[in-house]
Amino acid sequence: MAPDGRSIVTAVGLQSASVWVHDAKGERQISVLEGNAAIPKFTPDGRKLCYLTLKAVPIFGSNRDPGEIWVADVNSGLSEPLAPGFPVLDYDIFPDGKQVVLEALDAAGTPRIWLAALDRRSPPQQVPGIEGRNAVFGQNGEILFRHVEGPYGFAYRVRPDGTGLRKALEQPILYLASVSPDGQLIQAWASHSANTAVQSFPVGGGPPVVIGGNTVRKWSSSGDALWISSGAVPEGVTYIVPLPPGKILPPIPPGGFRSEQEIARLPGARMIDRTVQRNLYRIPIP
């Protein structure tokens, strides 16, 4: 309250999410200035960078608002929408770098799986007969996704033409996050003991590796590093963790990571900076 009692002073913190690239040229922003950027992914050759543009700061999981996919040329910095006016909830890039798999709602609000060419020469095409979420590419060109059955969801496999539908995991999951570069591990958020945790499930069967109760993890497009976040986005802190040659997981404590400090102590772990803007405002009192 001001001394004269005619106004109050308050602080407002603003968070924004943008995509930056760090390379030999330095650091520069890639995403468009309008909106917030989320889920950045390089094509396998590293020449293009895809990301979602959202109105709100992105959150982790399936409750994210839809946005548009943009494709940026890394060298020139030019960004263009992949499919203008086509709202997308999530996406993944095919290993050949020619197409992406999309999660989008149909006219009835049902989540469907779509394919879109990165050269933008054709509109997105729906994978026939498939209802699902969190679509990612697996081995041999298959698509993995989560399909809700009753109170749970299960990971399924399907070919791009809608054939070969079958379960990928027998354990119910809450969120399908990614597949390891070698196709041998499926990362999913699932029940663990009395809680839920991010876990890596072997494709061929066997006990999962518990990563952590509130930890988000994805492999880099090159497969030589992991992005590990402690806590939900945007509140959590994200680290880039290099992987030893021939390894697809870093050293993980029994029962998974329990704190940000355990992640920070991993060999070569580097925290990704985050900017929070705060301003002071004077509000007159009528």
Predicted confidence (pLDDT) at residue 183 exceeds the cutoff of 90: no
pLDDT digits (tens, 9 = 90+) for 219-235: 877 788 888 877 654 45
Distance CA 189, CA 174 (A): 5
pLDDT digits (tens, 9 = 90+) for 224-281: 888 887 765 445 678 889 998 888 889 988 888 888 888 889 999 988 766 555 666 6
Query: What does the buried/exposed string (b/e) look like for 180-198 if buried means 16 or more CB atoms within 10 Å of the residue's CB?
Result: bbeeebbbbbbebeeeebb
Can you give the pLDDT at residue 231? 60
Which of 82, 116, 159 has the alpha carbon at shortest distance from 145?
Answer: 159
Q: For the chain, give every domain's residue range.
A: 7-284
The model's pTM is 0.79
119 vs 4: which has the higher pLDDT: 119
Hunting for tokens 């399909």 — which residue is that? 147
Cis peptide, bond prior to residue 234, ω within 30 of zero = yes
Angle at the Cα of 214 (from 212 to 218), degrees rounded to 5? 70
> Model confidence at 99, in pLDDT bands (50, 70, 90)?
very high
Can you give the pLDDT at residue 30? 76
User: What superfamily does domain 7-284 belong to in CATH?
Assistant: TolB, C-terminal domain (2.120.10.30)
Residues 6+ apart with CB under 8 A from 214: 230, 231, 232, 236
